[in-house]
């Protein structure tokens, strides 16, 4: 695998390495950042890991203190910038500036909407997760994967495959996980931290959001909304809202699920999920967003209601009779 040689040659030739991923971290972005950070530390590289946004509560326990930086001074220069699990520069948020302060940029990613913005783009949209892609690179180059690194790859894979339920879960994915398990990772403990650790406050807020789902197009489209007022009333942050759009998709009749998160009165974040063959990344792309076939999103400069009507209009050709 040529990619693996390129990847590790560039690492070898760099002293000062920066790792970034998309803003608003998730299991795959954090898993792949932490995995690669672990490797680079082990081979005595100077590494900075940057994350924009709050770390979701269920990942905190996997991250040791001071591993992640949340601010960049705009001055520090890097020999190598490795962008993980991020399809375009804009999703790097405040850290997109590091691109100009790096001699070389490698992107390792699996988003179908990846724009090939880096110098070296190792992109495979068929693979489950960036974590699995890193696993593949390490195997191809015969590099050792430690137990700690295995833990992080597992987190990437299990979260980005929806606990091995999405169609991106291939035979290779299961084989990779088999190897990770053989490295001695504690599946029960990791899964309990990831999935069985919800704070009561978050669950109660989840129930409130879910109780207001609206259905359209013969229940084939389900949509939920989160307003700033609701967050204020429940003393929650938007980062605490997770899993709603996946939950709506669990409803039998639903083909496409959606959540609209109000950032302010004139800006929202939209997440879309689909169950079968509808490609929601195509829909997200028309609004300047991106993602995967069955999981995508975009931001929109309209109110919640206006955004809802806009999406309903777009879906009419897909779901309407």
- The residue (of 50 and 221) whose beta carbon lies closer to Mn ion is 50
Q: Minimum distance from CB of 101 to Mn ion (Å)?
A: 25
- Specify the residue for token string 């955004």: 307
Q: Minimum distance from CB of 67 to Mn ion (Å)?
A: 19
Q: Minimum distance from CB of 206 to Mn ion (Å)?
A: 23
Which of 50, 57, 61 lies closest to 83, judged by CA? 50
296 contacts 272 by C-beta, under 8 angstroms: yes
With CB atoms as reference, the residue minimizing the distance to Mn ion is: 28
Q: Minimum distance from CB of 291 to Mn ion (Å)?
A: 9
Q: Minimum distance from CB of 73 to Mn ion (Å)?
A: 28
**Residues 133-162 as b or e (16 or more Cβ within 10 Å = b):** bbbbbbeeeeeebeebbbbbbbbbbbbbbb
- The residue (of 222 and 290) whose beta carbon lies closer to Mn ion is 290
Residues that bind Mn ion (CB under 5 A): 28, 85, 129, 160
- The residue (of 85 and 240) whose beta carbon lies closer to Mn ion is 85
284 contacts 298 by C-beta, under 8 angstroms: yes
- The residue (of 85 and 151) whose beta carbon lies closer to Mn ion is 85
Q: Minimum distance from CB of 195 to Mn ion (Å)?
A: 18
- The residue (of 52 and 160) whose beta carbon lies closer to Mn ion is 160
- The residue (of 96 and 129) whose beta carbon lies closer to Mn ion is 129
Q: Minimum distance from CB of 267 to Mn ion (Å)?
A: 24
- The residue (of 87 and 222) whose beta carbon lies closer to Mn ion is 87
């Amino acid at each position: 695998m040529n990619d693996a040689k390129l990847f590790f040659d560039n690492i070898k030739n760099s002293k000062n390495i920066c790792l970034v991923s998309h803003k608003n971290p998730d299991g795959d972005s954090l898993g792949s950042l932490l995995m690669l950070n672990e490797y680079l530390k082990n081979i005595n590289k100077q590494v900075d890991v940057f994350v924009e946004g709050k770390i979701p509560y269920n990942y905190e326990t996997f991250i040791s203190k001071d591993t992640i930086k949340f601010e960049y001074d705009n001055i520090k220069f890097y020999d190598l910038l490795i962008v993980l699990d991020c399809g375009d520069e804009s999703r790097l948020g405040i850290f997109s500036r590091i691109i100009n302060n790096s001699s070389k940029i490698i992107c390792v990613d699996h988003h179908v909407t990846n724009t090939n913005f880096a110098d070296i783009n190792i992109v495979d949209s068929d693979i489950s997760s960036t974590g699995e892609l890193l696993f593949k690179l390490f195997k191809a180059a015969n590099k050792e994967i430690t137990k700690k690194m295995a833990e992080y790859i597992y987190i990437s894979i299990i979260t980005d495959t929806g606990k091995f339920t999405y169609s991106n879960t291939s035979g290779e994915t299961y084989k990779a996980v088999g190897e990770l398990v053989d490295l001695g990772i504690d599946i029960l403990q990791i899964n309990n931290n990831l999935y069985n650790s919800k704070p009561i406050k978050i669950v109660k807020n989840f129930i409130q959001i879910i109780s207001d789902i609206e259905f359209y197009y013969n229940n084939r489209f389900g949509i939920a909304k989160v307003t700033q007022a609701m967050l204020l009333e429940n003393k929650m942050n938007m980062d605490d809202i997770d899993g709603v759009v996946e939950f709506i998709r669990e409803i039998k009749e639903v083909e496409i699920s959606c959540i609209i998160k109000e950032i302010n009165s004139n800006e929202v974040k939209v997440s879309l999920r689909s169950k079968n063959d509808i490609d929601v990344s195509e829909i997200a792309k028309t609004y300047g967003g991106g993602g995967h076939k069955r999981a995508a999103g975009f931001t929109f400069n309209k109110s919640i209601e206006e955004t809802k009507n806009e999406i309903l209009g777009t879906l009419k050709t897909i779901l309407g009779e």
